[in-house]
Amino acid sequence: MKLGVLMSEYRAGTDTLNRLSAEKLGVIFVGNGAYHATVKENGKASPVLEKAATFYVLAEDLESRGYDASAVDGRVKVVTYSDLVDLVFNDYEKIIWI
């Protein structure tokens, strides 16, 4: 199954994500989840980015938190709402929110 996960929290949801597996896994950081794409705690990027998945972050949620694309980890692609619609309909069969 091709599973898209909308990750909306920074301090929660990681346990749930770690229990998920899929033939193709996409993680889209939205809301406060956008911090996973940018923040480095003690010099280390978010451990979520170590998971075998394709990562995206919603541009609007990134910008509303004072970041731009230059602050985003190289493993994460910045997407718009329009791009997200395409991901939902074309790239992933199931979409969940955590």
Partner 1 sequence: MGKLTIGCFSSLVGSLSLDFAVKLSEAAVKKGHKVDLWLSGNAVMLSKKGQKAFRDYSYVQKTVDELIKAGNLQVTACEACAEARGYHKEDTMEGCKRFSMDWYLASCFDADRVLLIGGD
Which residues form the interface with partner 1 (CB under 8 A)? 6, 8, 30-32, 60, 80-82, 84-86, 88-89, 95-97
- Closer residue to partner 1 (CB): 45 or 83: 83
- State the nearest-atom distance from the C-beta of 6 to partner 1, in Å: 7
Residue 7 near residue 96, CB atoms below 8 Å: no
- Closer residue to partner 1 (CB): 71 or 96: 96
Residue 15 half-sphere exposure toward CB, CA atoms < 13 A: 2
- State the nearest-atom distance from the C-beta of 74 to partner 1, in Å: 25
Query: Which sign, positive or negative, has the C-alpha torsion 91, 94, 97, 98?
Result: negative
- Closer residue to partner 1 (CB): 49 or 98: 98
Residue 78 near residue 69, CB atoms below 8 Å: yes
